[in-house]
Amino acid sequence: MRKAPEFTLQNTKGKPISLSDFKDEHNVVLLFFPLAFSGVCTKELCSTRDNMKIYEALDAKVIGISVDSFFTLKAFKESHNLNFLLLSDFNKEVSKKYDTLYDDFFGMQGVSKRSVFVINKKGNIEYQEILENSDNIPDLNKVQEVLAQLD
């Protein structure tokens, strides 16, 4: 188990949010996704939205992170009624820290890989899944199993 790299990113209102804001309070599920408004990302995040009661019952805050600007993420969040935080890693610093950047994503460099990290209240990574194929979605049942074992 390793310590989750600390970060501060802007939410959809341009307000800074840090991972440490949740320490000792909540478990955190970080969902890195390639690009807002793309098909699989929309499907994944809408599914997460529809299952928020499960994450809340497991005392977990869900945070979606992509390299989109916070302006794009704001439009994405509003258009799909997403009920969890979206953070902009526009400068790609956090995706690098979590080793989750594609070298080449349909000709674009530096796009976040679809991945999930479960971070406990102490700030340690309990589970991670980094996908090379962006058409795949992380095993969210496994994420929920891991969360259920945390206090």
Tokens describing residue 128: 């991670």
Confidence (pLDDT) at 134: 86
pLDDT digits (tens, 9 = 90+) for 98-124: 999 998 888 888 999 999 999 999 999
Confidence (pLDDT) at 29: 97
- Just list the catalytic residues: 41
Domains along the chain? 2-141 (3.40.30.10)
pLDDT digits (tens, 9 = 90+) for 17-30: 999 999 999 999 99
pLDDT digits (tens, 9 = 90+) for 30-67: 999 999 998 888 899 999 999 999 999 999 999 999 99
pTM of the model: 0.94
Confidence (pLDDT) at 41: 83
Q: What is the mean pLDDT of residues 61-75?
A: 96
Question: Is residue 1 predicted with pLDDT exceeding 90?
Answer: no
Cα distances from 73 to residues 14, 98, 118, 128, 141, in angstroms, run 10, 20, 22, 23, 25
Within 8-113, where are the H helices?
A: 39-50, 52-57, 70-79, 93-97
